[in-house]
Amino acid sequence: VPRAGYIPQIACANCRNPAHCAACNGPLSYPDAQGTPQCRWCGALAGNWACPTCHGTTLRAMRIGSDRTAEELGRAFPQTVVRVSGAKSVDGIIARVPARPGVVIQPRVAEAVVDGDYGLAVILDAQVGSAGTGLYADQETLNRWLATATLVRGAAQGGEVYLVGEGAAVPTAALVRWDPVGLAERELVMRQDLHMPPAWRVASVTGDRLAVNQFLDILRMPPGGSVLGPVEIDPVLPRGRGAAQDRLPQGAHQTLTVAVRAIIRVPVGQGRDLARAIKAAQATASARRAAALVSVVLDPKELV
């Protein structure tokens, strides 16, 4: 399953808008069947929650997690042993399960192995697990699906893998064909054409427009390099786990109302020269007391 926990994402039952914490605006969730809605960022309880849009007070599940999935399958198969592997589950992450009939519910990176391999794997909510839009979304999705599929015995021994839901087209096709090499080759050709990693080395510079422009002015660009932008971005970047790596430096949006980001690209052979140039530019910016207004990330994982 793509999500751990009980009900990790809830929304207003009336207008369907996601429910957020009144204290920090973080997403609300149900930690267990009897629990009070709780913020996933700050941990605050939201017992008296009211929707700021329609003022409704009733909540509904948007996504269910591994614990709730186990609860539903336990009711569907009452005579079957159902185990849940996960850091937040009762038994924690299960490394190995006995080779007896049963069901194991596993969020990603918590897969348990079994002697003789599994007879069947069902990858639930493929549309959720493949919904990312980042530069590496397709590869990471396929990697997770293959990690699950390789725990299943081969087709000649009766093993089966089911993908449930409308998964993204690229990783779905690669899984069906069992062709991670083909996906990698296709992606590499596209990255070469777009001048993106790993064919090119990339750095993002984020902050106030004035500070970013000054940083680019003092940066000694390696041969063959180019700069995209700066372009405006949302000054309030994502918070919490999984947030973008090149977040706006604290306090930067207090000096100017518009935050910007520039992308620096150089051929892969100039990667070390780019790192040295960035280090030298940061030293100069620090001497001018402007470094705190700029965040620089080399090879950022997320560009879109």
Residue 246: the pLDDT is 42
* Tokens, residue 134: 């980042």
Residue 114 gets which letter from DSSP?
E
* Tokens, residue 178: 């069992």
Q: Element (H or E) spanning 225, and its range? A: none
**What is the residue-wise DSSP string for 52-107?**
TTT----EEEEE--HHHHHHHHHHHSTTS-EEE-STTSTT---SEE-SSS-EEE--
Q: For the segment 147-183, what is each residue's pLDDT rounded down to a tens digit?
A: 999 999 999 999 999 999 999 999 999 999 999 999 9
Residue 279: the pLDDT is 92
CA distance to 193, 224, 265, 277, 302, per residue, from 270 (Å):
17, 8, 10, 11, 21
Q: How far is 217 from 202, CA to CA, in rounded Å?
A: 17
Query: Is 96 in contact with 112 (CB distance < 8 Å)?
Result: yes
Query: Is 3 in contact with 65 (CB distance < 8 Å)?
Result: yes
* Tokens, residue 21: 């914490």
Residue 301: the pLDDT is 75
Rg (CA), the chain: 23
Question: Could you tell me which residues are beta bridge partners of residue 27?
Answer: 20
Buried b (16+ CB within 10 A) or exposed e, 108-129: bebbbebeeebeebebbbbeeb
Q: Nearest 5°: phi and psi at 187?
A: -65, -40
Residue 75: the pLDDT is 92
* Tokens, residue 190: 């596209």
Q: How far is 228 from 132, CA to CA, in rounded Å?
A: 23
User: Tokens 């918070």 — which residue?
Assistant: 239
Query: Is 126 in contact with 164 (CB distance < 8 Å)?
Result: yes
Q: How far is 272 from 21, CA to CA, in rounded Å?
A: 44
Q: How far is 4 from 107, CA to CA, in rounded Å?
A: 6
Residue 159: the pLDDT is 94
Q: How far is 20 from 38, CA to CA, in rounded Å?
A: 9
CA distance to 31, 92, 274, 284, per residue, from 34 (Å):
8, 20, 54, 56
- Taking alpha carbons only, the member of 232, 271, 229 closest to residue 279 is 271
User: Tokens 């850091």 — which residue?
Assistant: 87
CA neighbours closer than 13 Å in the CB half-sphere of residue 191: 20
pLDDT tens-place values along the chain, 304 residues long: 988 889 989 999 999 999 999 889 999 999 888 778 999 899 899 988 999 999 999 999 988 888 999 999 999 998 899 999 888 788 888 889 999 999 999 887 778 899 889 999 999 999 988 887 778 889 999 999 999 999 999 999 999 999 999 999 999 999 999 999 999 999 999 988 888 888 899 999 998 888 899 899 999 998 888 999 898 886 544 333 333 344 444 444 444 457 899 999 999 888 999 999 999 998 888 887 765 678 899 888 776 5
